[in-house]
Amino acid sequence: MVKLSVIVPFFNVQTYAPETLRSLRANAREDFEFILVDDCSTDGTADILRRSQDDIPGVVVLRHERNGGLATARNTGLDAARGQYLAFLDGDDWLAPGFYTELLARTEALGCDFVRTDHVQVEGASRTVHRVPHGRRDSVTDPREAILPADRSTSVDYPYAWAGLYHRRLLDRGLLHFTDGLRTAEDRPWIWRLHRSADSFAVLGMLGIFYRRGVASSLTQIGDVRQLDFIRSFDQVVRETAEDRDANLLLPKAVRTYCAIISHHMASIERFEPSVARTLKSLSSAALKRMPQPVLDEALDSMDVQRATLLRRLRRRPAAAKEATAA
């Protein structure tokens, strides 16, 4: 029986893939499988992954004939996974030796649907610990209770799919797949759905995941139109939250978070190509108009003056019809 399936998408990360694969080898166990999904890489990544099949126990290599993005690559891995538990890793990140064995043991002891873990962010020579914004550790609780309050950072604001472990029953319930084709912010609707629909979760105070920032090929470093998928992502969050039985309680959090993300992108709009910057403004304006207006008004009233003024100005901006429907 396969105890754990680890799904690792790769796209043009030949510089970092060897370190990722070495860390998987240091986590290998006879009942673990590592599903490596090559998302149609055009550099040497595919060759590196092929060679890993002879070097790392439990490796399965799958390849897309066309680049589909991170969400689609993860879905490919989920469809092939056989494990009782599932985990994710990105192709340019790495793990401490034996991390998955400890994570699995602690998760099984708790018996919950999923767990979330802290991580180490790596940027050059810098190492920074980032913790799940949830006070209770090693204690099983209702994931819905971890969504609020609206005005503070909570577990849904820590969306990283790789920072956790997930029982297969979540996959069987249709809760682990990502929205196909999302190029960025793909884990936002995903983490909200988990917290709204799963029965139990816990936060574990353990480190062992190293998240690499500042990679040149990462979408967080590229100011092209793919970055604007955050609009589609948060539209989905708001739409699905509006259908929840506790919509009146949860929508203020969803809308406020959406506003904060729009404000964040607008504050660094100079990094986008000029045409993309114009589209960002139009799409953001249209998105603000789509939000439940009374909830949006409350969210803006609760924000600092600078961000609230920016967003109110955006909401009044006429959106070009062609751009407004591009998302």
Per-residue pLDDT at 324:
43
**CA nearest 59: which of 84, 37, 41?**
37
Binned average pLDDT, 10 residues per bin, the chain of 327 residues: 97 97 98 98 97 96 96 98 98 98 98 98 96 95 97 97 98 97 94 98 96 69 77 98 97 98 94 92 96 97 96 86 45
The Cβ of residue 289 has, within 10 Å, a number of other Cβ atoms equal to 15
Residue 86 contacts by C-beta under 8 Å, 6 or more apart in sequence? 4, 5, 6, 7, 78, 165, 166, 167, 168, 171, 176
Q: Which domains does the chain have, with CATH numbers?
A: 4-220 (3.90.550.10), 223-324 (no CATH)
Per-residue pLDDT at 217:
52
Per-residue pLDDT at 322:
47
pTM score? 0.92
